[in-house]
Structure 1
Amino acid sequence: MPSLEPITSGTRPPALLRRGWVGGFFGLLLLLGLGLYRDYGVGWDEQIDRLNGIINAKYVAMQLAPELAKRQPTFAEIPDLYGSQDTDHGVFYQLPLVILEKVAHVEDSRDVYLLRHLVIWLTCAAGTWVVYRLGAWRFGSWHWGLLTAALLVLSPRLFAESFYNYKDPVFMGFFALGIYTLVRWLRHPTWQRALLHALATGAATDVRTMGVLLLPLTLGFGALELWQRPLVRRQLLLSGVLYLPFTALVVVVGWPYLWENPIGHFLEVFQSFSRYRTDMLTVYLGQEISVRQLPWHYVPVWLLVTTPPAYSVLFVLGLASVAWAAAQRPLLWMSTTTGRLDLLLVAWCLGPVLAIIVLNSVIYDGWRHLYFIYPAFLLLAVRALHMLWHRWRAAGSPTGRMAGWVSLGLFILSLSSVAYRMVQDHPYQNMYFSLPGTAAGRWFERDYWALSGREGVEWILTHDPAPQVAVGTDARSRLVLHNAQLLLPPAERARLRMVPPDQATYFLTTYRWHPGPYNAYGLPIYERQVNGIPILSIFRLR
């Protein structure tokens, strides 16, 4: 029976050439991040995420060294773990960041958040490497793996959020690692690889609870291997016995909230899949609707309008090609390495979307909660490219070859257009839409991370030399000003006074929950637009 081995295509290129290209790609990626990480503002959730890490750090310290913890100067100001509203968020990633702050001796808010932005970029770059490895394994070539990684980097919204979103792009990398360790275990089922996969599963779950989706994928595709590969059944069963208990151990150890009542607290957290603690409005297709009443098409539409069109077209083609291959001779297709791996990609990509729809789970801010399916989305898109490439090379007619050249030119043109948009929109690649800007601005949420607040506050302080500058914003958006001042130098931070609008000299808005114009304030004295969409306006009130 066919085994789960990498697909090879042709002779393997020299290792030196591969190392040069792959090393150069990821070296440039790291340098790019080092050059850009200071440019992004503090996102809406960053302070909350950091506080969650600090609360858990206090709890761990109280469990391990209570007397030492009580002597810390800020101990009394830190809330207790129980009673905190974010206990349903794991801290496998946030807790080490808090420790890193202490080790690096950074205390001023500007230094703290710049350090955190750098670390999250490095983490997401590591996740990109995992996606490269998955692509190289699936297509049997480092070239195709590198193309998959390049498409991930040239995904504007993911690129921007890789500097300040501690949850979704980070979880995407951890989940991709879980898929990678699963594939390696299925390929050669040893107890070491089973434990490594359990570690990856537990870590992903402790970053976001949806990491538990790795469990049914592991059990389902493990059973499929047992059926198709009788020669490795004994190794699969013996090593697989270790997977579930070790995964449970990692989840509990890495999530302090579970320590005192692992089963009860985890079930409580798991229920948050299909509910949200408060109601909230979001702009979708031009209407403000409750996040508890989102239509079934919310995720597919958001995914399509925020993904480069060429990727979406290739994904549909790749999905169709998988369905066609499976429909021809299902049992034979299932017995092949490519068939089982493509089925895994489809389950990884579509399974969570269907679960969100069926469970009517609450999501918001676009489809960011499902970013972890995006590597599978790209791998299916690259599958279509891989298929078209080989058909083009096999084409004997001049018409077929000409069609191939035209298609290749259009694809390169599409990538160039995306890269150009990313440069033009910097540092607001999170505002990328595949629609015209005027339509996107009317139909969908804009800068829901409120990153542009930093630019607005800096502009006001640069153009107003007064020792104290009073700035106001919408009542529900006061956090925008608070987050914006975190990256100011201390002297500038001291000049900023955050006040209600009726006491302010300047009114700043990022249009969150207020998509319409502010006619009562007249014309803005400063405005930032991205592809024709206003995301920041400043009005002088007096």
Structure 2
Amino acid sequence: MCIILLGLLLYQDYGVSWDESIDRTNGIVNAKYITGLLAPEWAGRQAIFSSVPEFAGYEERDHGVIFHLPLAFMEVAWPGLDSRTYYLVRHFCIFLTFVLALWSVYHIARIRFSSWQFGLLASTLLLISPRIFADAFSNGKDLVFLSFFTFGIYTLVRLLARPTLGRAVLHGLATAIATDIRILGCLLGALTVGMFVLELVAAPATAAQRKTLLRAFLLYCVASAAFTVAGWPYLWEAPLDNFLLAFEKMKRFRWDGYLLYLGEKVHSLALPWHYAPVWIIITTPVAYVVASLVGLGASGYALLRHPFSFLKTPQGRLDVLLLLWLLVPLLMVIVLHSVIYDGWRHLYFIYPAIILLAARGIHVTWQASRGRAFLKRLALGAAVLAGAEAGYTAVRMVSSHPNQQVYYSFLSDPEASQLFEGDYWGLSYRQGLEWILANSTSSRIAIDAPFRIVLENNLAVLRPEDRARFTIDPNSQERYFLTAYRTHPEPYPDSVGREVHTVKVNGIRILSVFYRW
């Protein structure tokens, strides 16, 4: 309840990211398609559908929309809904999915360590994760996927612990929702198959227990397939063929652009293998990284040294699940040279595995120090340092609000702004627009930016009377120019105007407002 209250206090503060207007349109296109099938005459009378593309020719129609659809139907049911209201409701809904992730991590850790204290520790570490926290209000793709993927891992853990038919259906639903958000959610299905095989082979069980497990697995397969089709309109016409097409498109996805990485503009199709690992390290608190490496090492060592006895225990098999959750997607990106951009947001769904392995590292360190004075003092010192960093991270989150999305664990300006992408989501444009409103008396304010979409998106979350004062006009002699320096760390020429305002986070410049008259 306290976490939800925190969300209620903060959800109105964040800007609108690049993809949110695209997701909004995708949701309405799918709503038009669904209502056109179920009630074509009624759908034809809805004004909101008049300017919406047809589903058959819409390029984004193969993207999952299960999160966007309820918000689209809200707009259908509420004619004339203002864009500010839409985005504020959307941001709070995204945060509610993050609450689900926190809840799921708590229960996974509680089960793994047989301790509610470790459950609370793991969920707290997830909460005090600056970039994840900021995305928990604005990222309707990667953060929502993280949340439901984590929930899917939890339902899998419950199902393996007690394979009832009800738990099989629930896990099938969780898998389907994750897949209907991003098709990579089908990885939950692969993990489920692997863990069921491991359970049959390694877990001590009677013939009757194995039969129960197989029955639950078969029901899971049917439920996950049925729910996936039901929640993804793109699959309705040809479920298997369209699913394979969407999967093939995901494998061949090739965004053609440039990224600022280690101080150089790197092409998205030629990213070095270390791109994702470096981004993970520089944007995750140092103590979390160290603790997760300890947990990774401890689980890996136990598995390699005593594989049979390790896999016979529920804790050992759960550790294997955590290792697979972390390593398989990461290795897939490295080995297959997958295109990821905007930091490592496409891999955010492995972050809870990092957190849980960090809890494992803390747990094994605590156990090793028991009864040994030197190790106990060493562990206590490490705990004090880790706690201090977590506290400092929390303070930084408060001081940088609402721009935690540009958190770097140990980099500061000018290293961060010269080496890596800053506010790639463009959330800080909202603060730039609000500064202009507060410092301009003009009734008509001309503005411009390197990318028009971020201006349009952040104008949409302003109050209607404030929004009406702005016009996007790059040709106006007197105008403001806003930039978040995406792939452009170097200074802008004098022709854009004089810099009149700067937004900085922890000393890092993330937005500038220039004025030309």
- TM bucket (normalised to shorter chain) is over 0.9
Residue aligning to 1:66: 40
Once structures 1 and 2 are overlaid, which stretch shifts more, 181-190 or 97-106? Answer: 97-106
- 1:327 CA displacement: 2.1
SS at match of 1:230: coil
Query: SS state of the match for residue 349, structure 1?
Result: helix
Give the residue type in structure 1 aligned to 2:122: T
Q: TM-score, normalised by structure 2?
A: 0.96
Equivalent residues in 2 for 1:122-201 (5 A)?
A: 122-201=96-175
Equivalent position of 2:3 in the other structure: 29
TM-superposed deviation, 1:81: 1.4
Distance 1:329 1:73 in 2: 66
- Superposition deviation, residue 504 in structure 1: 4.5
Give 1:503 shift: 4.1
Mapped contact 2:446–2:476 kept (Cα < 8 A): no
The 2-side partners of 1:396 and 1:294 are apart by 46
**What code does the residue aligned with 2:330 have?**
V
Q: Counterpart in 1 of 2:225?
A: 248
Deviation of 1:352 after TM superposition, in Å, equals: 0.6
Equivalent of 1:38 in 3, 6, 12: 12
Q: Does 1:482 align with 2:456?
A: yes
Distance of 1:281 and 1:366 partners within structure 2: 12
Task: Map 1:118-517 to 2 at 5 A.
Answer: 118-228=92-202, 229-231=204-206, 232-276=209-253, 278-392=255-369, 394-397=370-373, 399-437=374-412, 438-474=414-450, 477-500=451-474, 503-517=477-491
Give distance in 1, aligned partners of 2:169 and 2:74: 27
Q: Could you say which residue in structure 1 is the equivalent of 2:508?
A: 533
Structure 1 CA distance for aligned equivalents of residues 55 and 477 of structure 2: 37
**Fraction of identical pairs, as percent:** 47
Q: In the TM superposition, what is the alpha-carbon distance from 1:401 to its structure 2 partner?
A: 3.4
Structure 2 distance, partners of 1:509, 1:391, is 51
Residue 267 of structure 1 aligns with an amino acid whose one-letter code is L
Deviates most, 225-234 or 166-175: 225-234
CA shift, 1:277, in A, is 5.3
Change (3 A) 1:72 1:522: closer
> TM-score, normalization: structure 1?
0.92
> What is aligned with 2:62?
88
1:104: Cα distance to partner?
6.3
Confirm whether residue 98 of structure 1 aligns to residue 66 of structure 2: no
Q: What stretches of structure 1 of length at least 5 have no aligned partner?
A: 1-26
Q: The residue matched to 2:468 in structure 1 has which SS? A: helix
AA matched with 1:241: L
Q: 1:102: Cα distance to partner?
A: 4.6
Q: CA deviation at 1:370?
A: 0.9
Other structure's SS at 1:88 match: coil
8 Å CA contact retained: 2:477, 2:516: no
* Counterpart Cα distance in 2 of 1:217 and 1:411: 32
Deviation at 1:74, TM superposition (A): 2.4
Letter in 1 for 2:232: W
CA contact (8 A) 2:46 2:76 kept: no
- For 1:262 and 1:462, how far apart are their aligned partners in 2? 52
In structure 2, distance between residues paired with 1:277 and 1:75: 31
What RMSD in Å do the two structures reach over aligned CA positions? 1.5
The code of the aligned residue for 1:213 comes to L
Per-residue CA distance 1:296-318 (angstroms, 9 max, x = gap): 11111111111001000111111
Aligned counterparts of 2:65 and 2:503: Cα–Cα separation in 1: 35
Asked if 2 retains the 8 angstrom alpha-carbon contact of 1:501 and 1:507, the reply is no
Deviations 1:339-367 (A, max 9, x none): 11101100011101111122222111111
- Please give the per-residue CA displacement for 1:46-95, whole angstroms capped at 9, x wherever unaligned: 11011111110000000111111001112221111122222232011110
> 1:271 and 1:36 mapped to 2: Cα distance?
39
Contiguous gaps of at least 5 residues in structure 2: none
Letter of the 1:203 partner, please give it: I
Q: CA deviation at 1:106?
A: 7.0
- Cα distance in 2 between the residues matched to 1:216 and 1:226: 16
Task: Find the residue that maps to 1:537 and give its secondary structure.
Answer: strand
Answer yes or no: is the 8 Å Cα contact 1:274–1:360 preserved in 2: no
**1:7-59 CA-partner distances (Å, limit 9, x unpaired):** xxxxxxxxxxxxxxxxxxxx221111111111100111111011111110000
Residue identity matched to 2:172: A
Deviation of the 1:278 alpha carbon: 4.2
Superposition deviation, residue 502 in structure 1: 5.5
